[in-house]
């Protein structure tokens, strides 16, 4: 389909519906995979995407035997649609604020392997908010600390919970808790049966290590120089590599406890190589969405442990 040079139509409800179909197709990486989310047949989706392309006068995506991929124009339209949907959500939230209602969509970003930490009571904060604002649709996404902070500043998230390697002047950071990180090996690893007294820093440094891809500037305890042989962006992937017996790796102690209790992992040189990572609840200082403000209050009431943390 070649681009036609005529004025774009004013957006109507019909166009918004077609854009949401397009968004679902891109999110699912194809027509067939989007069927379950949209609840319609693949042929119907194809017709709707064709209608959108006709309305916009451009080819948005290529589909066929070579698979699905966006055209250059399609990527631009997709990015613009994200901004449009965020604006619609913000509009609903602002109107709700004016009427004293808590409505709309709320986006919360976290790192993985948090649910197993029962001491921080995050689930209770979420439950408090669900009861306080039953009309708000809550979205929780898991990503790396860097991606979460970037997403917060770009208004993809209303709030995030994550360790932070850097702070930003436009964001309020509330220290919430310290998470203990320990170095682990699996049962099939050469160090598993050795007592800590027989293990040295030099021995550790010669073992293959699975690190976190988002911690390139991290300085290990004791200035240890790990032999980086693998990287992963999620704790589950690191756990799998540790369990394989081929790698050492750091995990939150609460997350690794299930395998330690089962005898499948053990921590190494806890007194020397363990460390604590500070987590923050972060949100934009300019945030005016009442639902977002209520959500952060619910989370802070359950999680805040620092008596000197700044109050609103």
Residue 3 has pLDDT above 60, yes or no: no
Q: Which of the four pLDDT bands, split at 50, 70 and 90, describes residue 259?
A: very high
178-277 and 98-177+278-303 share a CATH fold: yes
Evaluate if residue 258 carries a pLDDT over 70. yes
* The pLDDT value given to residue 1: 47
222: left (phi over 0), alpha (psi -120 to 50) or beta: left
Q: Kindly provide the b/e burial profile for residues 237-260, where b requires at least 16 CB atoms within 10 angstroms of the residue's own CB.
A: bbbebbbeebbbbbbbbbbbeebe
Q: Which long-range contacts (CB under 8 A, 24 or more apart) does 208-214 make?
A: 208/246, 208/247, 208/248, 209/247, 209/248, 209/249, 210/237, 210/238, 210/241, 210/242, 210/247, 210/248, 210/249, 211/249, 211/250, 212/238, 212/250, 213/144, 214/144, 214/145, 214/146, 214/147
- The model carries a pTM of 0.71
Beta-bridge partners for 307? none
Mean pLDDT of 287-295: 89
Q: What is the pLDDT of residue 306?
A: 44
- What DSSP state is assigned to residue 261? H
Give the model's pLDDT for residue 154: 84
DSSP per-residue codes, 170-187: TEEEEEEEEEEEEEEEET
Q: What is the pLDDT of residue 97?
A: 61
pLDDT for the residue 309: 42
Read off the DSSP letter of residue 158. S
| 26/86: higher pLDDT | 26
Q: What is the CATH number of domain 98-177+278-303?
A: 3.40.190.10
Per-residue confidence (pLDDT) for residue 28, from 0 to 100? 84
User: Does the pLDDT of residue 218 top 90, yes or no?
Assistant: no
Average pLDDT over residues 215-230: 88
Q: How far apart are the first and last CA of the chain?
A: 54
pLDDT exceeds cutoff 70 at 294: yes
Residue 9 C-alpha from the chain's centroid: 36
| pLDDT at residue 156 in the model | 86
pLDDT at residue number 94? 67
Say what the pLDDT of residue 80 is: 87
Three-class DSSP category at 274: coil
Question: In this predicted structure, which of 64-68, 208-212, 229-233, 283-287 has the lowest mean pLDDT?
Answer: 64-68
What pLDDT is attached to residue 37?
82
User: pLDDT class for 107, splitting at 50, 70, 90?
Assistant: very high
In this predicted model, which residue has the larger pLDDT, 92 or 129? 129
| Fold (CATH) for 13-85 | Arc Repressor Mutant, subunit A (1.10.10)
Q: 21-47 burial by CB neighbour count: b if 16+ within 10 A, else e?
A: bbbbbbebebbeebbeebeeeeeebee
Mean residue pLDDT of the chain comes to 87
| Residue 95 pLDDT grade (very low, low, confident, very high; cuts 50, 70, 90) | low
Residue 312 scores a pLDDT above 50: no
Per-residue model confidence (pLDDT) at position 167: 80
pLDDT at 308: 43
**Average pLDDT of span 227-254:** 96
Band (8; pLDDT cuts 50, 70, 90): low
**pLDDT band, very low/low/confident/very high, at 88 (cuts 50, 70, 90):** confident
Per-domain residue ranges for the chain? 13-85, 98-177+278-303, 178-277
| Domain 178-277 top-level CATH class | alpha beta
pLDDT tens-digit map of 186-207: 999 999 999 999 999 999 999 9
């Amino acid at each position: 389909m070649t681009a036609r040079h005529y004025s774009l139509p004013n957006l109507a409800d019909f166009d918004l519906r077609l854009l949401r179909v397009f968004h679902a197709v891109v999110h699912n990486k194809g027509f067939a995979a989007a069927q379950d989310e949209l609840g319609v047949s693949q042929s119907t989706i194809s017709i709707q995407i064709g209608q959108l392309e006709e309305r916009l006068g451009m080819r948005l995506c290529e589909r066929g035997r070579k698979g699905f991929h966006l055209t250059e124009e399609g990527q631009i339209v997709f990015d613009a649609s994200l901004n449009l949907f965020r604006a619609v959500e913000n509009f609903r939230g602002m109107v709700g604020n004016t009427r004293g209602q808590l409505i709309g969509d709320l986006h919360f970003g976290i790192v993985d392997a948090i649910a197993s930490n029962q001491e921080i009571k995050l689930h209770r904060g979420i439950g408090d908010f669900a009861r306080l604002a039953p009309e708000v649709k809550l979205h929780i996404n898991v990503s790396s600390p860097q991606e979460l902070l970037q997403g917060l500043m770009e208004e993809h998230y209303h709030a995030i919970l994550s360790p932070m390697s850097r702070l930003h002047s436009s964001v309020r950071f509330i220290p919430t808790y310290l998470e203990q990180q320990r170095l682990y090996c699996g049962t099939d690893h050469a160090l598993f049966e050795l007592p800590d007294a027989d293990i040295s820093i030099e021995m550790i440094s010669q073992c293959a290590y699975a690190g976190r891809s988002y911690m390139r500037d991290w300085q290990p305890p004791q200035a240890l120089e790990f032999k980086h042989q693998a990287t992963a962006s999620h704790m589950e992937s690191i756990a799998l590599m540790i369990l394989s017996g081929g790698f050492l790796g750091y995990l939150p102690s609460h997350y690794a406890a299930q395998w330690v209790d089962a005898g499948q992992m053990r921590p190494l040189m806890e007194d020397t190589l363990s460390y604590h990572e500070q987590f923050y609840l972060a949100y934009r200082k300019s945030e005016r969405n009442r639902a977002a403000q209520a959500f952060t209050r619910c989370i802070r009431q359950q999680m805040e442990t620092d008596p000197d943390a700044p109050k609103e």
